[in-house]
Structure formats: C-alpha cells, structure tokens
Amino acid sequence: MKQKMDSPGVRVDASVTRGVNALWHRKSVAKNAKARQFAIAFKVIGCPVVSDNFTLRERFREHEKMAEQDPPKKPASGLKPIERHNSEERLSRLTPTTASATLHAYCSKFARDFLDAHFYFCSSKFVVARGGKVKALDEAFRDAEEWYAGALSWLSKTDQIEIPLFYEEKEVKVSHSFAGRLLRLLMQFDRIFLETLYSQECSSISPDQRTTTIEIAAKRITAIHQLCIPDTDKFDADGTLISSHRSSSNGHA
C-alpha cells in the first residue's frame, strides 16, 4: 500500500490524505457558493441609490449582536435600569381607552427614525392641543397632503422598474385623528421613496430630482413635528405662532 510522509516521524495512509483533501474541497465549494449568494444580494440592496433602505449587512449584524449579547444583569445598586425616554407611556396615560393599534410597514430610514424618535411625541401633543394650535396643525397637514398628492400623481406618469427592498414592521398606537394623518403621510413618504427610485432606475427622472423630491417630502413631515413643540398659548386664534422662540422642552402642549 502506498504511503505518504506528511510530517517528520508520522506516516499517514494515502487514502486518508485523499479523504481529508476531498472534505476540505467540498467545504470550500460550499463556502464560495454562499459567498456568491451574499455578494449578489449586497450588489442589489447595497447600491448607492438605495442607501436609505435597510441593507442585508445591517440586518445580519443586528442578529449577530443579539446572539452574542449576554442576558441582562441586575444592577449592583438594585435600582431599576434607566430606559430610553419616549412619549408612548405618557400617551397611554392621556388616552387609556381611545388609542387603537395598527401594524405599520416601512422601508425608508427616515420613516423608521421618525417613528422611533418623534411619532409618539407628536401624538401626545395632538391629544392636548387646543385653539390656534389645532388650526395651525390642520393647515400644515392640508399643505403636506396636497403636496404629496401632487408628487405621487407626477411619479405615476413616469416609467418605472421595480427593485426588491427590505420592509420592517412596527406596531403603532393611533390616539388622535392627527396621528392617523401623520401615519398616512409616513406611508406616502415611503411610496415617494420607492417610486422615485423606480423612476430613476428607468431614467425617467434624474438623481438630483429624486434627492430634491425626497428632501421636500421629509420637510413637510418635519414641519408638523416642529409645530408640536411650542405650547398652545404660543398660537393666536387664527393659528399664527405668536412667539418666534420655541417653548422650553419641559412645557405643556
């Protein structure tokens, strides 16, 4: 039987060596095939024009971090851990029985960040707004809704080619009619995010047109958030903001 000297003082059967080599070859082929699949996915999802969509790499890193994290440990002091502040708890105290929950799907970074950072703050302000502030908010919503309708009408007339993108879902509590209108604007923002991308890929619009349209769409929603910040007494009866300065962060709506 033919034998091979693989290391000094050790003689290994040639059939064993061939078996080991074959095993490593199969593992290498499988690894390369998997790498090619990920490369194709990253090429589609990670291209510059969809940089605000959730990438595969981001999702995989999040899952890896979750898997590596140890179970939460009780603080040595025995005190309750400090959690990130948001207005969801305040909203539940204000409207314990009137809020309805809905599952909202989104695909843009702007929509995700707004839902996480500002939506419940705005909702709590909607609930307690009165007088001129309600009028100012309603006018801002009307202006935004009119602009969004025109933008979507314009995009519907362009040639488009669809690109698969990631969606995420979040349960959202809607406590006021303004909150429902705000959530609808976020849905329309995602439509503009998608359709401008589809139109750009079909060369129906330029990259600059897409960037400008998305920026204006974001500003329309941000303007509503800015109106939520001043106190109710900072608005005149006709909805005019009396003071040019923002109220303190610990004030009431």
In the chain, where the domains are located: 12-45, 88-234
CB 101 within 8 A of CB 181: no
| pLDDT at residue 161 tops 60 | yes
- Choose the weakest-confidence range: 8-12, 27-31, 180-184: 8-12
In this predicted structure, the answer to whether residue 252 has a pLDDT above a threshold of 70 is: no
DSSP H or E stretch at residue 5: strand 3-7
pLDDT, one tens digit per residue, over 87-120 is 445 544 444 445 678 889 999 999 999 999 999 9
pTM, 2 dp: 0.63
Q: What pLDDT shows up at residue 42?
A: 40
**Cα→Cα distances 117→10, 221, 238, 241, Å:** 65, 13, 29, 24
The β-bridge partners of 10 are: 7
Burial 87-97 (b: 16+ CB within 10 A, else e): beeebeebbee
What is the rounded distance in angstroms from the CA atom of residue 50 to the CA atom of residue 197? Answer: 7
pLDDT given for residue 102 in this prediction: 87
> At residue 160, does pLDDT exceed 80?
yes
